[in-house]
Amino acid sequence: MRGNAMLEIVIDYDERMNSLDLEDFEHLETLMEDVLPRGARAVLLRGEGRSFCTGRNLKGMRPDEDILASVTLINRVLLAWRALPVPTVAAVQGQCLGAGVGLALLADLTIVASDARIASPFAQLGAVADCGFHAVVTERLGEAVTKDMILTGRALSGQELADRGLVARSVDGDVAGAAREIAATLAEGPTLAFAASLDLVDGVVDGDTVEVSIGREALAQDAASRTHDYAAGLRAFLERTSPRFVGR
């Protein structure tokens, strides 16, 4: 835990391009379960070294492995990451492949190095892209680009990803430092209001109409008005001071 409220999770297997064994995914699942008990109000996920994450460590696969069970575990981690009720930030550098794409793009904010490379290499394996690739990339980039990436293995740079709106922003230089600064700021914000807004955005993505969304917004705003942070924010605004949020 960094500071009082930001949890920083680091993938550090540079010798294997930060690919993950199933045991690593189990550990990530435990970390997701511990986010709230540890009092985290924002989470930063990053990779150490040359890559963010290149997905499953294929050298750790067994010929007789139950693939459905393995993918189910990985998907459970990805969905837990997406569902965390605090802001999540991914700092992406170097190669980002397979399950790494899911971990990167299912964060609330994805900050990428301008020269990072995101790709789907599954065609080379005779396998199907998974870990949310079809849904997330098609939703943000459209059918044509998604099919191109899947069928030809085309990689997109961090700069291109930002220009196309697939990620929040790209940066030159220290992507981990930039993402850490953002996550630290979010950790000091109104956690419950953030959670409500993120849920509302997900609702729109999942098909909420304007009429449904504004109704849900009203209920969320009513709930927020009864929190400590709402009172602190309003008081600071009226007094022209900086609010001090505590996450409740």
Instruction: Report pLDDT for 2.
Output: 42
Residue 131: what pLDDT? 83
What is the crossing angle of helices 133-141 and 143-152, to 10°? 130
Q: Tell me: pLDDT of 148 over 60.
A: yes
Is pLDDT above 70 for 151?
A: yes
DSSP string for residues in 29-49:
HHHHHHTTTTT-SEEEEEE-S
- Mean of the per-residue pLDDT values of the chain: 91
Residue 3 scores a pLDDT above 70: no
- Within 8 A by CB and 6+ apart from 129, the residues are 120, 122, 150
What's the mean pLDDT in 146-151? 92
Residue 72 has which token pair?
């189910």
User: Which pLDDT belongs to residue 63?
Assistant: 73
Global confidence as pTM: 0.91
Region 8-13: mean pLDDT is 95
Tell me the mean pLDDT in the region 86-110: 95
Q: Residue 51 is which amino acid? A: S
pLDDT band of 136, cuts 50, 70, 90: confident
Q: What is the pLDDT of residue 141?
A: 87
Nearest-10 Cα torsion for 30, 185, 132, 61: -40
